[in-house]
A and B are shown apart, each in its own frame.
Chain A
Amino acid sequence: MTALPPAFADWFARNGWDPHPHQLALLAAREDTLLIAPTGGGKTLAGFLPSLVDLHQTGRKGLHTLYVSPLKALTADVARNLARPIEGIGLAVRVGDRTGDTPAGVRQRQRADPPEILLTTPESLALMLSWPEAPKLFAGLRRVVLDELHALAESKRGDQLMLGLARLRGLAPGLVATGLSATVEDPQALARFMGAARVIEADPGPTPDIALLPTRTPPPWSGGGGRYAVQDVLDAVAEARTTIIFLNTRAQAELFFQALWLANDRGLPIGLHHGALAREARQRVEAAMAAGTLRAVVATGSLDLGIDWGDVDLVIQVGAPRNIKRLVQRIGRANHRYNAPSRARIVAANRFEVIECVAALEAARAGELDGEPRGPGPLDVLIQHILLTACAGPFEADALYAEVRTAGPYAGLSRADFDACLDFAATGGYALRAYDRWQRLMLRDGRWQLRDPRAARNLRMNIGTIVEAEKLKVRRRGRGGAALGEVEESFAATLAPGDTFLLGGQVLRYDRIRDLVMEVTPQPGREPKIAVFSGLKFATSTELSARMLAIIADPARHRELPGDIRAWLDLQARVSALPRPGTLVCETFPRNDRWHLVIYGFAGRNAHQTLGLLVTRQMEAAGLAPLGFLATDHALLITSLNPVGDVAPLLRRPALEQGLENWFADTSLMKRSFRAVATIAGLIQRNVPGHRQSGRQATFSSDIIHDTLRRHDPDHILLRATRDEARHGFIDFERIDDMLARNPHVELHRLDRVSPLAAPLLLEMGRVRLGGAGQEMLAERMARELMASAGLDDLTHDDR
C-alpha cells in the first residue's frame, strides 16, 4: 500500500484525522477504480488524494486532473473543499472550474494556461472536446474523477460522459479514471459502465435509524404536500442539530416551507433550496448551511447530490420516496459523523403513501435495494458525439468506432449501428439520397469532416442530452402577482378560461396566458376540475409495488398500518374490493360527465402506460371515445366520454399483442420520446444563432417530422432509436404479460361514484392525451363553450 507522503500525513494529523482505509486503497490503486462510499466518508478527498500526491511528488504543471460532476453547484463546493488540503499542505496546485457559468475571460485564460485541476460538467467536457485544440489541451491529462457517478449513470448524460472519457483516453494514453458513487444495488454493473474498473467499497457505517414520523393527525386522503405534519416536523427539527427536509417537487417544497414559517413560533432559522430558485438565493442558503447558522433546509432533488454538510444529523422525507435506493441515498445525507448512524424520518403525504412508506422502510431495513438494469448506449447520444468529434477536426471512421467501443455503454455497439449513426450525421440517412450536394459531413482523403466549418458553432450551441418540456410560469393575476409554479405548456393548452386546476395543493382558476405567463386566481374551497401533478416523475420501483400489493391484499398485515389506513382499506373492501394477487381488480364510475375506468395492475408506471395506450386503442375502435389516461405505479385510470361495459375483452392478450404491433404509430408518448431523440441527434435545434423571438411561426413541430419519417422511411435510424428507447424505457410489455399471467381473474366493479382507492388518482396529473375522435370531439365541445361564453353565434354565414 502506498504510504501517505509525510507532508500529507502531517496535515491529517494536525487536523486530528486518520485517513479512511478506502482513501488509502484508492491512493494505492494503479488502475481505474470505482469507490462506493456513503456521504460523509471523505469520498471527494479520496478521489483527489492520488492527484494531490502525484502533483506534490512530480511538481507537474498544466492540466493534470479533470473532475466531472452532474451539478454546477458541486464544482464550487469542491473547489472550496480542495482549498483546505492545498493550503494546509502548501501545494502549488491551481484549481479552476469550467461550467456554463464560467465568465468568458476566465475561459480564455483556461484555454491558454489551464489549471492543474479543472472542475467541470459532462456538457462542458463535451464542448471542450469539440475544440480543435482539444488534443493539445488534454495530452498531458493523468487522472479523471467522476463524481456522483450513480446519478449520472441514470440518464443519457452518463452515456455522453462515457463517450467523452473514451475520447480522453484516446488523447491521453495512460489516463486513470476514478468513479465516486453512493450505495447502489449492483456496483459491478456501474464499474462496467465506466469501462472496467475495480470496485472498492467503503465501510457503509452503522445501520441507519429510520421510521415513520409520528404525527398528531392522520394524513389526508389525497394531496402531496404533507402540510398536515408541519408541527410534528418542527418538533423534530427543534430536537436535532441540523435537518434536511426533502420534498419531491418544487411547488411542494415552496408550500411546505411557507407552512413551516407560519407555524414556526420558536423562530428556528430554516432555509429553502430548490432548482427553480435563482442561483444567488441557493448560494446564500448553501453558505448559511455550511456556516452552521441554519437549523433546517427545505429541499428537493437539488440536494440529493453533493454538497456535504458535516452537521446534518436528521433527514426528513416528506412524501413517498418511490424508490428504495433513493430513500437510502437520501438517508445517507444525514451523517453527522461518519461512524454515527444516520437518522431519518418519513412523512407520508397521504394515506396511500403510508402503505408505500411502510413497504419502503421494510425494504430499506432489510438492505434490499432496487434498480433496473441499464440498456445499451443510446444512438442519439452517439450521433451527437460523432458530430462534435467532427467539430474538433477530421477523423477516421475505423479509429472512432474502436474508440467508442471502449466506452462502457457502447462496448457492444455493432459496426452496422455505428455506420448508420455516421451516415445519419453525414447525409441524414434517408432511404432517398437527397442531400448529395449538401452533406453535413464529407469524406475527404479517408477522413470525415464538416462540409461547412461554420456549422460547428451551431452544433456547439446544441450540446447536451437534457431535453425539457416547454414550461409556462404560473402567476397570480394582478400587478406583481406572486409566482406559484410552472406547468407544462401542453397541459396549459388543454385548459379553457374558467377551468380550475390544482397546483401545489392550491385550487387555481385559469384566467389567461400573456407573454408566456399563465395568470390565475386562487379559488379556495372549490373543487378542482383538473389536477396538475407537478414535479419529477419518479416511478415506484417494481419491488416496492410488489411489497405494497402484498400488504394491501393481506388483511392480517393491515396491523402494520396506522388505524386510519386500515379504516380506508376496510371501506374500499366494503364499497368495491381490495386488489389482491391472482385477481385483477377494476372499477368504473362516472364523474363530471366523463367515465372513468381504473385497473389496479400494480405493474409499475411504465407497464401501466403501455397498457393505457393499448387499451385506449381498443376503446377508440369500440366507439367509447377515450380522452386520455393516467398511469401511476399501482393503477391505470382511463377517461372516456362513453362508459366501458366489460373490461375483460379489452385485456385479451392477442388483442393487446396486436395493438403493440401498431402502437408505434402516432401516439403522443412516442412523439414526446422522438422529440428528445431528434433534439439530441441534432435534427431539431434548441438554439439557433441569431434566432428572432418573434419568429416562432418559423419553427416547426417535431411531430410533423415524426409523421413524415413514419410515412416515408419507417426504418429510419431515429425511429429505431426512439423505439429502442421506448422498449427499454417505458413499454415494459413483459410486465403486462406477467400481470395478466399472474391474474387469471378479471373483476369489474361498476360503481356510481369514485371509490376510496381511486380518489387519489383523480388528483394526479401526467395524463396522456389521445388523438382520434375523442380529442376532436373534446376540442369541438370546448370550442362551442368558448363561442357561447363569448356571446357569439356562428358568424360564418353572416355577412356583417
Chain B
Amino acid sequence: MTTVDPSAGLALRLAGAGFVARPSGALWWPDRRTLIVSDLHLGRSGRYARRGGPLLPPWDVADTLDRLGAEIAALDPGRVVSLGDGFDDDLAAETIDGEARGKLWQLARGRDWIWIAGNHDRLAPGPDLPGRSVPDLHEGIALRHIAGEGPDISGHLHPVVRLAGRSWRCFVLGREHLILPAFGAYTGGLAVSDRAFSALIPRGQAICCSARMFTVPLPYPAAGAADT
C-alpha cells in the first residue's frame, strides 16, 4: 500500500475557489472535502486482450486503485469524483475482477462516490459497483469530462509537458478552465503545445506532477509531440 503526504501539492485558485493540485495528479478541493480524479481508464489491459490485441501486464487496475487509495487515506474526502473515462469502456466496468471491485467498495465506504460520464464510459456502472453516475456536476464551477463553457474542471485530454528529457503529467490552468492529467496507469499524454489546449487556454500555465510541482507558462512553444 502506497502512502503519501497529505500536505503535498500546489495551491491554486479557479473562479474564486481554492484547490490543491496533488503530485499524484489528483485535485483536492478542501472547502468541499472533495477529491477529483480524471481518466482512470480502469480495465484498459482487459479491453486490449478482449479485442485480440497485445496482452498487457494486468496490474494496471491494481496500480491505479492503489494510488487512488493512498490519496483517499491521506485526505479522507467526504466525496470522490471520477471526472469521466473511469472505465476504459462500458464492458470494462462489467469485467474488472472481483478484487478490484472489492477495493472500490472499500474505498467508497462512507463517502459520496460520483462517476461522471466520459467518452469511453457513457453508461452508468452497474449495481455491483459503488457510487452514482451523473453526466456532470454544477457547483458554481462545472465538473465535466470534456471542457465546455467555463469556469469548469475537466479531463479527457491527458495533458503532459515535455521538459528535461521526459514527459510530466500536468494540470493545465487558465482563467476559465482547469484540465486534470490522466490518473490511470496505462494512459499516454497529449503535449500541452497541442492546439486542443491553446484553443481553450490562450494564456495560462501547466503545473507538472512532481515532488516540486513546478510550473511552466502557456502557450508553451518548446513542447513536442505527445509521449508515446
Contact = CB atoms under 8 A, between A and B. Distances in A.
A64 interface: no
B77 to A, nearest CB: 22
A800 B164 CA distance: 30
By DSSP majority rule, is chain B's interface helix, strand, loop, or mixed? Answer: loop
A797 B186 CA distance: 32
A752 interface: no
A776 B163 CA distance: 9
Given A516-B225, A699-B188, A783-B208, A713 B57 contact: yes
A683 B188 CA distance: 15
B56 A438 contact: no
B165 interface: yes
B49 interface: yes
A451 B55 CA distance: 13
Nearest to B190: A697
Interface residues of B, number: 59
A336 interface: no
Interface in A444-499: 450-452, 454-455, 458, 470, 472, 489-490, 492-497
A438 B49 contact: yes
Nearest to A792: B217
Given A493-B162, A704-B185, A472 B53 contact: no
B228 A795 contact: no
Q: Which of A432, A711, A783 has the most CB of B within 10 A?
A: A783
B210 A779 contact: yes
Given A699-B228, A796-B173, A786 B55 contact: no
A696 B192 CA distance: 12
Interface in B163-191: 163-168, 173, 175, 182, 185-190
Contact of B208 (A682, A700, A778, A779): A779
A745 interface: no
Interface in B76-111: none
A167 interface: no
B11 interface: yes
Interface stretch (B24-32, B58-66, B121-129): B58-66
Contacts of A668: 165
A701 B57 contact: no
A453 to B, nearest CB: 8
Nearest to A778: B164
A775 interface: yes
A782 interface: yes
A796 B214 CA distance: 11
Contacts of A794: 215
Nearest to B225: A516
Given A494-B165, A708-B60, A472 B222 contact: no
Given A428-B58, A458-B52, A705-B56, A771 B166 contact: yes
Contact of B207 (A435, A495, A628, A796): A796
Contacts of B168: 779
B58 A430 contact: yes
A503 B190 CA distance: 27
A796 B50 CA distance: 43
Given A513-B193, A683-B56, A780 B221 contact: no
A673 interface: no
Given A796-B10, A798-B13, A705 B57 contact: yes
Interface residues of A, number: 72
B227 interface: yes
A794 to B, nearest CB: 7
A434 B99 CA distance: 12
Interface string B193-214: 1000000000011011011101
A365 interface: no
A700 B224 contact: no
A697 B214 contact: no
Given A698-B188, A783-B208, A489 B225 contact: yes
A490 B164 CA distance: 9
Given A452-B52, A455-B52, A493-B162, A776 B210 contact: yes
B8 to A, nearest CB: 14
Contact of A776 (B54, B162, B189, B212): B212
A428 B57 contact: yes
A427 interface: yes
A787 B185 CA distance: 30
Interface string A765-800: 000010100011011101110110010101111111
A782 B225 contact: no
A627 to B, nearest CB: 9
B63 A786 contact: no
Given A493-B167, A513-B221, A699-B188, A438 B57 contact: no
B142 interface: no
Given A701-B188, A786-B220, A796 B12 contact: yes
A708 B53 contact: no
A786 B161 CA distance: 13
A787 B165 contact: no
A701 B221 contact: no
A546 interface: no
B123 to A, nearest CB: 20
A497 B165 contact: no
Nearest to B62: A712
Contacts of B208: 779, 783
B173 to A, nearest CB: 7
A743 interface: no
A701 B52 contact: no
Contacts of A682: 54
Contact of A427 (B13, B53, B55): B55
A798 B164 CA distance: 27
A792 B205 contact: yes
Given A455-B52, A704-B185, A775 B164 contact: yes
Q: Which of B52, B162, B207 has the most CB of A within 10 A?
A: B52
Contact of B16 (A454, A769, A790, A799): A799
| Most-contacted residue by chain A among B54, B60, B173 (CB, 10 A) | B54
Contacts of A439: 55
A374 interface: no
B51 to A, nearest CB: 8
Contact of B187 (A427, A454, A697): A697
Contacts of A513: 193, 221-225
Nearest to B156: A697
A696 B212 contact: no
Given A470-B228, A493-B224, A796-B11, A685 B164 contact: no
Contact of A512 (B186, B189, B222): B222
A37 B226 CA distance: 48
Nearest to A510: B222
Contacts of A780: 212, 214
Contacts of B223: 493, 513
Contacts of B63: 708, 711
Nearest to B221: A512
9 smallest beta-carbon distances between A and B, as pairs: A428-B55, A434-B58, A455-B52, A452-B52, A769-B165, A438-B49, A779-B164, A697-B158, A790-B217
26 contacts: A428-B49, A432-B59, A440-B52, A451-B52, A458-B52, A470-B228, A472-B224, A493-B165, A496-B222, A512-B222, A513-B221, A513-B222, A513-B224, A701-B188, A701-B228, A708-B59, A716-B57, A771-B166, A775-B165, A779-B166, A779-B168, A779-B214, A780-B212, A782-B164, A786-B222, A799-B16
Given A699-B188, A782-B164, 17 more contacts: A428-B55, A434-B49, A451-B52, A458-B52, A495-B222, A697-B158, A700-B187, A708-B57, A769-B165, A776-B210, A776-B211, A779-B163, A787-B215, A795-B205, A796-B10, A796-B13, A800-B175
Interface of B: 10-13, 16, 45-46, 49-60, 63, 157-158, 162-168, 173, 175, 182, 185-190, 193, 204-205, 207-208, 210-212, 214-217, 220-228
